[in-house]
Structure 1
Amino acid sequence: MARIRFRLLLLLAALALWTPADAQLRRGARTVVRGGTMPRTDSLKLRADSLADAAFAAELDSLFDAEFRADSIRLTELRTDDLFTLDSIAAARIASGGAFAEAGAEKTDTAGLPARPYRKGWFMSDSMSLSKVCWLSTVLPGYGQVYNKQYWKLPILYGTVGTGLALFFHENSTYRPLKRQYDALTDRSLSRTPELNALQSKMIRSNTRRQVYLGLTIASYVYFIGDAAVNYSTNDVSHVKKATTLACIFPGAGQIYNKSYWKVPFVVGGFASLIYCIDWNNRGYQRFKKAYNLISDYDAHPENYPDGPTDEFHGRYSASFILNLRNNYRRNRDLCIIITGALYALQIIDAHVDAHLKDYDISDDLSMNLEPLVDYAYVPGAGGNRPVFGFNMSLKF
């Protein structure tokens, strides 16, 4: 009987110590310790926790990837001159988990760092190409300086261009009446008189000043277009494109950019010579054109000229001879214009090729090797392969 009681006590003690897994999960840690067992982790709970952690990590990774893609898209829209701030912005984002605000809202980081506004549009954009900046600078003086944020150059540009234009228009107002008086005198007669010589001298001096003022105005205007191209730094532009663009803007500028200074006198001298030839032939054309008109009118209406022909040659040459001279001067003038256009295109090509060759790696090994060669070729008539003897030449350049 005592043995049976002892066994029942052991059974009750075992039942008291044993609890189901669900009951242990519902009981607190202190209750389990008082019950005589150490707290243990159930396998089902371990599995559930691991699955929850894996899902949470996957969700974080997807959010991070989405944020990284959005940030990378926005970062590519930043200008090159703002790249030095990317490290600080990235560090603040990693530390605080911040991201750029949505499009349309104020572009600031959640960490409080201000983001540079991105300029969009056709007229003013942070990703505008070099050629577009130059074309807009041609139409709108000073646009390139505004785009490059060199505002201090604007007073110089507008000052030089405005002063040159004012002087040109002032001198042009003096030259025009003199030219009308000269044309009125020479339309009646080309005989040299003191009055005509004095008027022509005064007209030439005024025209020279007028051309100098106009040349300085155009030179300053073109210079600031080239300045906009040289200081352009929005996108990564190769030296080849900059040299070609500068050569298009002004002859010889591409050679200066390539540091081929010995070519500049040939380009500038060639253009100066051709411009002089164009002007000289044009003056000859205008001279013989007027003489031909006078002698033709005399041949058609001799009664209107009681004193004889009024051209500068006084009838010593026939109308057909003067017509040939007029046509020759016009032909030479047009030919010089064509040669000037060809020289302009040639100096652009030279600047483009020279810029390419600046980065071209030329090896020091310039050699030619000649060695004997023995090969086997299939000859159908001989019914098989036959040896072929010759030489192998290789060039290295």
Structure 2
Amino acid sequence: MARIRFRLLLALAALLVWLPADAQLRRGARTVVSGGMIARTDSLRTQTDPSDAGSDSADAGLAAEIAALDSLLTAEFRADSVLLNELRTDDIVTLDSLAAARFARSRASETAPPADTIRRTPYRKGWFMSDSMSLSKVCWISTVVPGYGQIYNKQYWKLPVLYGTLGAGLTLFIHENNRYKPLKREYEAITDRSFSRTPELNALQTRMIRSNTRRQLYLGLTIASYAYFIGDAAVNYSTNDVSQVKKATTLACIFPGAGQIYNKSYWKVPFVVGGFASMIYCIDWNNRGYQRYKKAYNLLSAYEAHPEDFPDGPTDEFHGRYSASFILNLRNNFRRNRDLCIIVTGALYILQIVDAHVDAHLKDYDISDDLSINLEPSVDYTYVPSAGGNRPVFGFNMSFKF
């Protein structure tokens, strides 16, 4: 028993002094080991003499404990050797740095995710294309670059539909616009001299109105397809977690009524679309009236300023039946009504955005059936200086639950 203990002490002393060749550190000229270093040992050989063959079972248990300690220290020293080899050789290696490395290693092993949950797909970085781009940025870039949202959402099959409808509408609009402009210039050239109604002028005006109607339809088709695909990019966006409120608000900003459709409030869509259609019609009506009386006022003013240049009398469409001040008043009224309709249209646009935002909030709003009022007596103690102490104050507590 005494011999085994003596050999155990010798083994621990050798463990603290000797360092095996396979665990030597590659130390530089400035490497300093402060506080001593515990070298790795391959094994603790506890040999016994033949005279120790009669040791009791306690010696065998002690030998087993020494062997377990030897294996534990061997694994720990190997890990420490790896950590020390990873440290820079031109720095001072201390036990503090070794302890810090041990702590970092233990934390990394605790917090490391399982191997099957590590993201293996490459992360795209950049301003124009990244894996974590916000919904607002995708919509803004789609506004400048049509089709970007479909590329970002990897819905490439929609690109032919987008560019097909957008290109067809834009081509038809440009074609019809090239036919409308000469008719308009010819009409204005005739009416600037005289507004007398003739069969030629009526036929020219009819062709101009039909061409303008087709031109506006093609322009509406182009704008609708353009806005639809921006909204489609917002609806199918799934990179980051985006609330339903933000999506509904974004769609309402892109196109009036789209937020209400996204919120499934279909009964509101006719009011929104009808309100915008009415405002656009009122704007067009008042603008046409403004242009009409503006031309009549200009012709009548030119006649009153130089009547010798008009031997046949006033050339405006009213042929001098109304005074210039009356026509000027009508012109200003139509212009004021037109501007007011534009303001109302802007207010309606903001109102439908607010409605979509609030409606999306209310979709997830928890409305409890417990609507109650609780009234109970209350007693409080207040310090009264004149009374020299605390005095009770009686009252009621009222609480509303909604």
- TM range, smaller chain: 0.7 to 0.9
**Per-residue deviation at 1:236?**
0.8
Q: By how many angstroms is 1:351 displaced?
A: 1.0
**1:211 has 2:216 as partner:** yes
Give the AA of the match of 2:7. Answer: A
Structure 2 counterpart SS, 1:286: helix
Offset at residue 374 of structure 1 (A): 5.9
Aligned counterparts of 2:51 and 2:384: Cα–Cα separation in 1 = 104
Tell me which residue corresponds to 2:129. Answer: 124
TM-score normalized by structure 1?
0.76
1:185 to 177, 187, 190: 190
Residue 227 of structure 2 contacts residue 255 of structure 2 at CA under 8 Å; is this kept in 1?
yes
AA of the residue aligned to 2:128: F
How far apart, CA to CA, are the structure 2 residues paired with 1:322 and 1:293?
Answer: 10
Instruction: Give the conservation status (yes or no) of the 8 Å contact 2:44–2:66.
Output: no
1:172 aligns with 2:199: no
Unmatched 5+ stretches in structure 2: 12-42, 84-101
Q: 1:118 to 1:27 in 2, by over 3 A?
A: closer
Tell which deviates more after alignment, 25-34 or 247-256. 25-34
Distance 1:29-1:304 versus aligned 2 partners, 3 A rule = same
Of 32-41 and 256-265, deviating more is 32-41
For 2:399, the equivalent position in structure 1 comes to 394
Residue-by-residue CA offset, 1:198-252 (whole Å, 9 max, x unaligned) = 1111100010001001101110110000000000001111111111111111111
User: Residue 331 of structure 1 aligns to a residue in which SS?
Assistant: helix
Q: CA deviation at 1:117?
A: 2.1
- The SS at the match of 1:395 is strand
Cross-structure match for 1:107: none
- Structure 1 residues 32-181: aligned runs within 5 Å: 36=53, 41=63, 49-56=71-78, 62-63=104-105, 65-66=107-108, 89-90=116-117, 115-181=120-186
CA distance in 2, matches of 1:43, 1:159: 81
What secondary structure does 2:354 align onto?
helix
Sort the Cα spacing of 1:118 and 1:309 in 2 relative to 1 into closer, same or farther, 3 A: same
Other-structure match for 1:326:
331
- CA positional deviation for 1:56: 4.7
- Residues 380 and 258 of structure 1: is their aligned pair in 2 closer, same or farther, counting only changes over 3 Å? same
List runs of 5+ in structure 1 lacking aligned partners. 1-16, 73-86, 94-99, 101-114
Matches within 5 A, 1:207-356: 207-356=212-361
Please report how far the alpha carbon of residue 89 of structure 1 lies from its aligned counterpart in structure 2 after TM superposition.
Answer: 3.0
3-state DSSP of counterpart to 2:400: strand
Q: 1:365 aligned to 358, 370, 381, which one?
A: 370
Q: Aligned partners of 1:172 and 1:312: how far apart in 2?
A: 27
Q: Which residue of 2 aligns with 1:21?
A: 7
2: distance between equivalents of 1:332 and 1:307? 34
Give yes or no for contact 2:7–2:46 (8 Å, CA) kept in 1: no
Q: TM-score, normalised by structure 2?
A: 0.75
In structure 1, what is the equivalent of residue 202 of structure 2?
197
Q: CA deviation at 1:347?
A: 1.0
For the Cα contact (< 8 Å) 1:21–1:42, is it kept in 2?
no
* Aligned amino acid, residue 261 of structure 1: Y
Question: Structure 1 pair 377/293, CA: closer, same or farther in 2 (3 Å)?
Answer: same
- Cα distance in 2, alignment partners of residues 223 and 164 from structure 1: 14
Are the aligned partners of 2:44 and 2:70 in contact in 1 as well (CA < 8 Å)? Answer: no
Change (3 A) 1:380 1:312: farther
Aligned-pair identity in percent equals 73
The answer to whether the 8 Å contact 1:189/1:311 transfers is yes
CA distance in 1, matches of 2:392, 2:45: 97
Relative to structure 2, which stretch is displaced further, 348-357 or 156-165?
Answer: 348-357
* CA gap 1:234/1:43 in 2 versus in 1, 3 angstroms: closer
Which residue of structure 1 aligns with residue 33 of structure 2?
Answer: none
Residue identity matched to 1:52? T
Q: Alpha carbons of 1:18 and 1:56: their partners in 2 closer, same or farther (altered >3 Å)?
A: closer
Deviation at 1:360, TM superposition (A): 1.3
Mapped to 2, the partners of 1:365 and 1:146 lie a distance apart of 49
**In structure 2, how many angstroms separate the alpha carbons of the residues matched to 1:345 and 1:388?**
52
- Quick one: distance in 2 between partners of 1:384 and 1:19? 78
Report the Cα offset of residue 192 of structure 1: 1.4
Separation of aligned partners in 2, 1:46 and 1:18? 16
**1:190 Cα deviation from its structure 2 partner:** 1.2
Q: Rate the CA distance shift 1:50–1:281 in 2: closer, same or farther, 3 A.
A: same
